[in-house]
Amino acid sequence: MIIIPAIDIINGKCVRLTRGDYAQQVVYNDNPVEVAKQFEGAGIKRLHIVDLDGAKEGRIINLKVLENIALATGLVIDFGGGVKTITDVSNIFNAGAAIVTIGSMAVKHPELLEEWLMEFGTEQFLIGADVLDGKIKISGWLEDGDIGIFDFIGKMLSLGVTNIFCTDISKDGAMEGPSADLYKKIIEEHPEVSLIASGGVSNIDDVLLLKETGCKGAIIGKAIYEGKIPLNPFEADLNAYKYFK
């Protein structure tokens, strides 16, 4: 299991929302490249970048941020938000991402996703399952996806995708603990899934709980930015710190 820090982008800046509410926005750094370099310096290998402007507008807006981070670091980056076409997918790869994150399009147009999977390979994609009260939300969490979380994950697995991250929107940015019970149920129902948890992590104990649940990784934002999970190994529990590697 690995920890994957998140950089969420609005207006080119590193921000965090609370429970997906764009009105509850905190800017943590004006320079996402600086943040990414700090992560890499701490031993981080993976990075999760979300173009929140793109997710809201339905088109990629902050591709340049991805390109700048990829040029400045050796991080393995997944990037998503506003991906609509195969050209978008190609542009993301060309800008330096190793993995493209797909959310809304996987719900609205799974036939297009299937074409992309055939073109680039299933391992090049990470599917985002954003859930609220058991139902998938799309378009920056602003619209209902009209499908339940278990049915959606089953559909993605039928396409050959096993790398899926699940965000419980009610937990995201709240640092009130992750939805371990939900993740456990997902893994029990779909044991072939390689599930990454997202949302609610507040400390390293939450990370260890997710590991015990069977999650393969944890995407973490606010807990890192606010120092609840230190990146410095001399400040963190050394046994827990191995999950950054």
**Distance of alpha carbon 31 from alpha carbon 14, whole angstroms:** 7
Using the predicted structure, report yes or no on whether residue 235 has a pLDDT greater than 50: no
| 30 class by beta-carbon count within 10 Å (0-12 exposed, 13-18 middle, 19+ buried) | exposed
Give the pLDDT of residue 19: 65
Give the pLDDT of residue 81: 92
Determine contact, residues 177/210, Cβ cutoff 8 Å: no
How many residues are recorded in the chain?
A: 245
Catalytic option among 8, 51, 53, 78 = 8
Which of 136, 122, 196 lies closest to 166 in space, CA to CA? 196
Give the pLDDT of residue 134: 85
Residue 166, CB half-sphere, CA atoms under 13 Å: how many? 31
Percent of the chain with pLDDT over 70: 88
Active site residue 144: no
**Distance of alpha carbon 134 from alpha carbon 131, whole angstroms:** 6
Q: Which of the four pLDDT bands, split at 50, 70 and 90, describes residue 83?
A: very high
Using the predicted structure, report yes or no on whether residue 141 has a pLDDT greater than 80: no
In the chain, the amino acid numbered 220 is I
The structural domains of the chain, ordered by start, are 2-244 (3.20.20.70)
User: Are β-strands 46-51 and 76-80 bridged in parallel, bridged antiparallel, or unpaired?
Assistant: parallel
Using the predicted structure, report yes or no on whether residue 94 has a pLDDT greater than 90: yes
Determine contact, residues 139/55, Cβ cutoff 8 Å: yes
Active site residue 88: no
Catalytic option among 130, 168, 172, 206 = 130
Q: What pTM did the predictor assign?
A: 0.89
**Distance of alpha carbon 42 from alpha carbon 142, whole angstroms:** 34
User: Are β-strands 2-10 and 13-18 bridged in parallel, bridged antiparallel, or unpaired?
Assistant: antiparallel
3-class SS of residue 214: coil
